[in-house]
Chains A and B, each alone.
Chain A
Amino acid sequence: MTHAIEVRNLYCEFQQRRGSLGARRAVRAVDGVTFSLAAGDALGVVGESGCGKSTLARLIMGLLTPTSGEVLVDGRSMARMDRRERARLIQPIFQDPFSSLNPRQRIRDIVGLPLASQGDIPKARQVDRVMEMLARVGISSEMADRMPGQLSGGQRQRVAIARALVLHPRIVVCDEPTSALDVSVQAQILNLLAELRRELGLTYLFISHNLAVVEHIATEVAVMYLGRIVEQAPVQDLFHAPAHPYTQALLASVLTPHPGLGIPDVGLGDTYPDPSNIPSGCRFHPRCPRMLAKCAETMPDNIRKDGRLVECLLAIPE
């Protein structure tokens, strides 16, 4: 069976300078990521800032070229596709609908641009598809002639969704699509994204720092830490029985609206992860509350347990 998307051994390294005279250093933002997704699935990618989740999204969208590794869509390598073909298969939705929409274009032109740039769709057909898509995301036809500045944040994000879906792509990469929105509006957009996935059979890659949002939208969750997926499992399994100590700490730090529980002690200590200086052995060991002596030397690579990926030496049966 071919997967809707398959990511094989993806690496991405940046050269960074500390200050204007400092030495160049390599920062490995994505450090060997492999996963595949079946059509109609939604993979939530979570992790702290700097873990490489947005870099991963950009690699998959083709906005960055990987140092090595490849991305396959429907079994075909993205690197060998031209931009038009890529655009038909994979489309983005970004975090900030204030900067992702051209402020000088009308809504109908913003949503129509992916169709126009394909070059072979008749104008009348383009207009029909734009209006159809706007209606589907809850933007009335009067609003089609407005400018982004006349729309609220939630409406703009609906426009961004319409633009992403107007070419009927296979895969939609959502990078923090609700982080800039208020909670009441966030719920509207999450519900819309969930409906659209079911109706159109879309495959989502959903990047978020908000675990609750990911639990709501994803079928499968990947937890990233310093450029690698350290745990990946079906959403229910991951949230009900997190196996990696880092996943456990992430889940423990979520403040659910339950009075009286106080603020949890996450137990991660005061060291912060630095992608230009990745620790030896298990990359999480300096912060891990359950660290063993061997964790500083042995890298837990590709360990599978009960049908999930857990990069942790504790997961190896004795």
Chain B
Amino acid sequence: MTTLVPDAVLSVDNLRVSFARTEAVRGVSLTVRRGETHCVVGESGCGKSISALSVTNLLPRGATRTAGHIRFQGQDLLAMSERQIARLRGDKIAMIFQEPMTSLNPAYTIGSQMSEVFERHRRTTRRQAMDRAAELLTRVGIAAPAMRLGQYPHQLSGGLRQRMMIAMALMCDPELLIADEPTTALDVTVQAQILRLLQKLQRELGLALLLITHDLGVVARMAQRVSVMYAGEVVETGTVAEIFAAPTHPYTRGLLDCIPVPGMTRNGEPLGNIPGVVPRLLPGFIGCGFRDRCTMATPECAETIPLRDVDGDHRYLCRLPPDWKRTAA
């Protein structure tokens, strides 16, 4: 499905990533537009983080990546050398990871780590880079930025560190921000503050935001568009409004039934659940990766599964018709 979206900042087509004994990503296509938040949601091992790392070619050793194309602002990233991609990383494409402590160097001050990116990409002096860092710390709501720039990562709380990571990602005015579980390690109250900040900055700067998460609550509140991943594939994609109002893939439905929602669950009534566990798929696996856990599975599910349309923008990967739930009930 190579559709050209005019305002696409990032467009990935048929991405495949494999390791020696597993196929981690099995044909993922997605588009992130300017000013849009696209969430990729799924459980651990579904390939969501590997897909994100593929974009900037940060895959671990031993991974093989192929794709129809990976295009960033019209340039083909697949055709670029490591050197050319390194020039984009931290500049026009910025990333934020889950645990800021592991992505920061404990032996350098915050100021030196923040300014390094800017000096490198913009060929500025340390002084100019420090000014820019202070400006961005203020922008992410950190008081007394000059003092913070002289501190080390361990002197900051988890919430402050993640604010600082956001500031650092914005140093060079990126077009695309890739955030991989940016609030998973934080308390709910701090998570809400960080996500509010991220949403505000994204709107103000017109960023394209690719947000990787396992949390459907984050998806519902942050994204315009969502891709649900399972076993290396996007099993359903569409606007957030459509997916939450009319989830069509049995996995998406199951996932929405599993999560306890405050004020909605009745105590004493079991939660919906998906039996079994997430599979690891060997290279050469064909058919639906969810079939062993799906109550609707038939022998046909072991064959190649068609991508179906609910309507133009809402697609899912399953042999069942869009209205299967009604027919089944």
Q: Is A239 an interface residue (CB 8 A)?
A: yes
Q: Is B120 an interface residue (CB 8 A)?
A: no
The residue from B192, B218, B254, B271 contacting A266, defined by CB atoms under 8 A apart? B192
Q: Is A265 an interface residue (CB 8 A)?
A: yes
Q: Which of A177-195 contact B (CB under 8 A)?
A: 182-188, 190-191, 194-195
For A264, the closest partner residue in chain B by CB is B192
Q: In the complex, are the beta carbons of A255 and B218 less than 8 A apart?
A: yes
Q: Which of B249-270 contact A (CB under 8 A)?
A: 254-265, 267-268, 270
Q: Is A122 an interface residue (CB 8 A)?
A: no
B278 contact set on A, CB distance < 8 A:
182, 184
Q: Nearest-CB distance from A237 to chain B (Å)?
A: 12
- Segment among B5-13, B193-201, B295-303, B312-320 that sits at the interface with chain A: B193-201
B265 contact set on A, CB distance < 8 A:
212, 215-216
Q: When A250-B189, A251-B262 are in contact, do A256 and B217 touch as well, CB less than 8 Å?
A: yes
For B259, the closest partner residue in chain A by CB is A183
Binary interface profile of B, 10-26, with partner A (CB < 8 Å = 1, else 0)?
00000000000000000
Q: Is B4 an interface residue (CB 8 A)?
A: no
For A217, the closest partner residue in chain B by CB is B267
Q: Is A81 an interface residue (CB 8 A)?
A: no
* Most-contacted residue by chain B among A240, A249, A259, A270 (CB, 10 A): A259
Q: In the complex, are the beta carbons of A240 and B263 less than 8 A apart?
A: yes
Q: In the complex, are the beta carbons of B258 and A209 less than 8 A apart?
A: no
The residue from B192, B216, B220, B258 contacting A253, defined by CB atoms under 8 A apart? B192
B311 contact set on A, CB distance < 8 A:
none
Q: In the complex, are the beta carbons of B262 and A188 less than 8 A apart?
A: no
Q: In the complex, are the beta carbons of A257 and B220 less than 8 A apart?
A: yes
B264 contact set on A, CB distance < 8 A:
256
Q: Nearest-CB distance from A141 to chain B (Å)?
A: 19
A240 contact set on B, CB distance < 8 A:
263
Q: In the complex, are the beta carbons of A215 and B260 less than 8 A apart?
A: yes
Q: Nearest-CB distance from A250 to chain B (Å)?
A: 7
Give the complex CA separation of A257 and B215 in angstroms: 9
Q: Nearest-CB distance from B329 to chain A (Å)?
A: 21
Q: In the complex, are the beta carbons of A266 and B260 less than 8 A apart?
A: no
Q: Is B62 an interface residue (CB 8 A)?
A: no
Q: When A216-B267, A240-B263 are in contact, do A254 and B214 touch as well, CB less than 8 Å?
A: no
Q: In the complex, are the beta carbons of A184 and B189 less than 8 A apart?
A: no
Q: In the complex, are the beta carbons of B216 and A257 less than 8 A apart?
A: yes
B220 contact set on A, CB distance < 8 A:
255-259, 261
Q: Is B275 an interface residue (CB 8 A)?
A: yes
Q: Which of A152-203 contact B (CB under 8 A)?
A: 152-155, 182-188, 190-191, 194-195
Q: Nearest-CB distance from A235 to chain B (Å)?
A: 6
The residue from A213, A218, A262 contacting B221, defined by CB atoms under 8 A apart? A262
A212 contact set on B, CB distance < 8 A:
259-262, 265
B258 contact set on A, CB distance < 8 A:
183-184, 186-187
* Most-contacted residue by chain A among B159, B193, B268 (CB, 10 A): B193
Give the complex CA separation of A116 and B299 in angstroms: 47
A263 contact set on B, CB distance < 8 A:
192, 195-196, 199, 221-222
Q: Is B327 an interface residue (CB 8 A)?
A: no
Q: Nearest-CB distance from A279 to chain B (Å)?
A: 16
B271 contact set on A, CB distance < 8 A:
187, 190-191, 216
Give the complex CA separation of A253 and B241 in angstroms: 21
A195 contact set on B, CB distance < 8 A:
270
Q: When A259-B241, A263-B195 are in contact, do A270 and B255 touch as well, CB less than 8 Å?
A: no
Q: Nearest-CB distance from A251 to chain B (Å)?
A: 7
Q: Nearest-CB distance from B87 to chain A (Å)?
A: 33
Give the complex CA separation of A215 and B193 in angstroms: 23
Q: When A254-B217, A257-B244, A272-B159 are in contact, do A265 and B196 touch as well, CB less than 8 Å?
A: yes
Binary interface profile of A, 209-239, with partner B (CB < 8 Å = 1, else 0)?
1011101101100000000000000011001
The residue from B159, B190, B217, B268 contacting A255, defined by CB atoms under 8 A apart? B217
Q: In the complex, are the beta carbons of A253 and B189 less than 8 A apart?
A: yes
B274 contact set on A, CB distance < 8 A:
184, 187
For A212, the closest partner residue in chain B by CB is B260
Q: In the complex, are the beta carbons of B262 and A254 less than 8 A apart?
A: yes
Q: Which of B196-225 contact A (CB under 8 A)?
A: 196, 199, 214-222
A266 contact set on B, CB distance < 8 A:
189, 192-193
Q: In the complex, are the beta carbons of A209 and B267 less than 8 A apart?
A: no
Give the complex CA separation of A262 and B270 in angstroms: 29
Q: Nearest-CB distance from A262 to chain B (Å)?
A: 6
Can you list 7 contacts pairing A with B, beta carbon distance less than 8 Å?
Answer: A48-B189, A190-B260, A215-B265, A256-B261, A263-B199, A264-B196, A266-B192
The chain A residues found within 8 Å of chain B, CB to CB, are 48-49, 152-155, 182-188, 190-191, 194-195, 209, 211-213, 215-216, 218-219, 235-236, 239-240, 249-266, 268, 270, 272
7 further contact pairs, Cβ within 8 A, besides A250-B188, A255-B220, A256-B262: A48-B188, A184-B254, A187-B260, A209-B187, A212-B265, A259-B221, A268-B193
Closest CB pairs A-B (n = 8) = A255-B217, A187-B273, A182-B43, A187-B258, A212-B260, A184-B274, A253-B192, A187-B271
The chain B residues found within 8 Å of chain A, CB to CB, are 43-44, 141, 143, 157-159, 187-193, 195-196, 199, 214-222, 240-241, 244, 254-265, 267-268, 270-275, 277-278
